[in-house]
A and B are shown apart, each in its own frame.
Chain A
């Protein structure tokens, strides 16, 4: 149990376009979903935390107008990178938890974004 999927697994886009990444919990209801970014050889950087039906909480330094997060249901959250630029190229990973206390986060397989 506790499987999280992410789509697409990789995407290449032109500078200035928008990209949407989906994160789904397949066999459990995810009260809380997390979006991370990871640059090569670096640790995970939390971008935002979202709870179903409410606005996401963004970490300091993360532009909420650039990284739009929607957590519309207990099994789906989306991250839209708007007006992408080459510096947005990174590995984006979502995770989901049942939201009960220090609950284990289950990670999706990640999405590798390359902006040309």
Chain B
């Protein structure tokens, strides 16, 4: 079956670094997305990885290992506004997104 696993909740301190992991099993694979969703709002696109390696975009970076079925989202210099849910979504062979349940990130001062 198809499955996306990520932790339910994580807590980190303002100014610190946090890594949110995601493992995936999909029928075929055409890349992995990370989205950010603040409470009561729609998701916003953060990153898309289809090749192995790390892609950096400002304070946020995303990593993919296709052989391990593994990705992570790295957030640096955490700010209070980074408190949100982070959704991992894999793309299967039909280009359909398989969504994880999301990781709620709580930032403490």
Contact = CB atoms under 8 A, between A and B. Distances in A.
Tell whether A and B belong to one assembly.
yes
A110 B42 contact: yes
A105 B45 CA distance: 8
B78 interface: no
A61 interface: no
Contacts of A49: 96
Interface in B73-95: 87, 91, 95
B48 A43 contact: no
A104 B87 contact: no
Nearest to B102: A43
B12 interface: no
Main SS at interface, chain B? loop
Interface residues of A, number: 20
B95 A102 contact: yes
A35 interface: no
B45 to A, nearest CB: 5
Given A43-B101, A104-B33, A110 B41 contact: yes
